[in-house]
Amino acid sequence: MIIEPKVRGFICVTAHSEGCKKNVLRQINYVKSQGEIVDSPKKVLIIGASTGYGLASRIVASFGCKADTIGVYFERPETEGKLGSAGFYNGRSLDEFSRAEGRLSESINGDAFSDAIKGQAIALIREKFSQIDCIIYSLASPRRTDPVSGETYKSVLKPIEAPFLGKTVNTDTEQVLEIAIDPATEEEIEATRKVMGGEDWERWIEQLLAADVLAKGVRTCAYSYIGPEVTWPIYTHGTIGRAKDHLEQSAKNIQNKLEKLQGEAMISVNKAVVTQASSAIPVVPLYNSILFKIMKQKGIHEGCIEQMYRLFSSHFNANRDEVGRIRLDNLEMRDDVQREVKAIWPRISTENLRTLSDFGGYYQDFLRLFGFGVAGVDYGKDIEIS
């Protein structure tokens, strides 16, 4: 079968297995080129490990720290002549590459919000890992079923209180559009907190602690985003921002629970990058296109893998802010960078999108998420689907 990209709005519904594999390999090669990270975790559990920041975390853990890893993710497998999702191919490739270098690399494909998957991970740790010394929490999901109540919550990307009026770009048609989004209801704010807040992270840690599978000095880190003013109404001051506030509160609760192991719970505020989750947030793809142009011109552009190498190689200590968060977004938030973003923002339109921004680079990154446009892949070659 010849596999081509089929872009529908902010998602591509096809994925190229060879391209995804090469993407994983490119990130592995980057990590190897940076060198081994000493005094690093050796048994790492990554929740949300198949794409974006979670995949990059797992690659750094496995190839930079030389750690054994368990990756938990929720992806569509390749079955009966049907394509799998990009994350499925990434996870499969990562296991293959890691095992070839003698590391334990186990993947669990299922709903991380459920107690059944938590139980499966604990059984696997007991069987093959004994204990875990680092847990990365990198889930991004549109819905969550609460394992206690059985109720399913759907997250929304909406402003709070006032409607949002602003610009965005349609990735598919390359048009810069004015959009208006009504504020979220109280119910929607709460649902987004249930999905993207820290409740599930805390539940994972509680169950891992109760099972006695966490090592002394264990560290756990979840990811957040703050960004510039242009995205605040929809992000930091919106429903997702409220959920991230909850995630930060959960870090404090988890910290208390880990005291007896002298462990640490951390929040890392990461840079804006192209992932499946971020492509779906209004305004962000346009902001990223402008940001990338500026950061590339200044020679300070980073993707997921560069960010995660910085996180692990700084031993989770890079640029702590006044409330103790790790700030990997320090280059994105530099005054000179944000001043230039601010100057371009009001002028950007469909006509000048490709000159005032790096939309070309953004779109290339977007297609690469699904294994397309990857150097060295023969896209004319038949791909066998099992």
Residue nearest to ligand NAD (CB): 52
Nearer Cβ to ligand NAD (69/276): 276
| Cα 302 to Cα 149, 184, 332, distances in angstroms | 41, 33, 9
Rounded to an integer, what distance in angstroms lies between the CA atom of residue 106 and that of residue 96? Answer: 10
> Taking the complex as a whole, how short is the minimal distance between the CB of residue 245 and ligand NAD, in angstroms?
13
The C-alpha R_g of the chain, in whole angstroms, comes to 20
Encoding tokens for residue 66?
Answer: 């030389």
Nearer Cβ to ligand NAD (14/261): 14
Rounded to an integer, what distance in angstroms lies between the CA atom of residue 23 and that of residue 332? Answer: 24
> Taking the complex as a whole, how short is the minimal distance between the CB of residue 49 and ligand NAD, in angstroms?
6
The catalytic position among 30, 137, 223, 235 is: 235
Rounded to an integer, what distance in angstroms lies between the CA atom of residue 101 and that of residue 123? Answer: 24
Active site residue 235: yes
Nearer Cβ to ligand NAD (141/215): 141
Nearer Cβ to ligand NAD (164/362): 362
> Taking the complex as a whole, how short is the minimal distance between the CB of residue 382 and ligand NAD, in angstroms?
28
Rounded to an integer, what distance in angstroms lies between the CA atom of residue 216 and that of residue 261? Answer: 5
Bridge partners (DSSP) of residue 79 are 82
- Cβ-in-10-Å burial (0-12, 13-18, 19+) of 167 comes to middle
Nearer Cβ to ligand NAD (38/58): 58
> Taking the complex as a whole, how short is the minimal distance between the CB of residue 44 and ligand NAD, in angstroms?
15
Nearer Cβ to ligand NAD (159/198): 198
> Taking the complex as a whole, how short is the minimal distance between the CB of residue 51 and ligand NAD, in angstroms?
4
> Taking the complex as a whole, how short is the minimal distance between the CB of residue 225 and ligand NAD, in angstroms?
3
Contact between residue 271 and residue 307 where contact means Cβ atoms under 8 Å apart = yes
Nearer Cβ to ligand NAD (40/138): 138
| Phi, psi for 136 (deg, rounded to 5) | -100, 130
3-state secondary structure 32-67: HHHCCCCCCCCEEEEECCCCHHHHHHHHHHHHHCCC
Contact between residue 130 and residue 68 where contact means Cβ atoms under 8 Å apart = no
Residues of this chain that bind ligand NAD (CB under 6 A): 48-54, 72-75, 87, 111-113, 138-141, 223-225, 270, 272-273, 275-278
What beta strand segments (E) does the chain contain?
7-8, 11-12, 43-47, 68-73, 105-109, 132-137, 143-145, 152-154, 164-170, 175-181, 214-224, 264-269, 326-327
> Taking the complex as a whole, how short is the minimal distance between the CB of residue 172 and ligand NAD, in angstroms?
18
Comparing CA positions, the residue from 282, 283, 130 lying closest to residue 208 is: 130
Rounded to an integer, what distance in angstroms lies between the CA atom of residue 331 and that of residue 195? Answer: 29
Active-site amino acid positions? 235
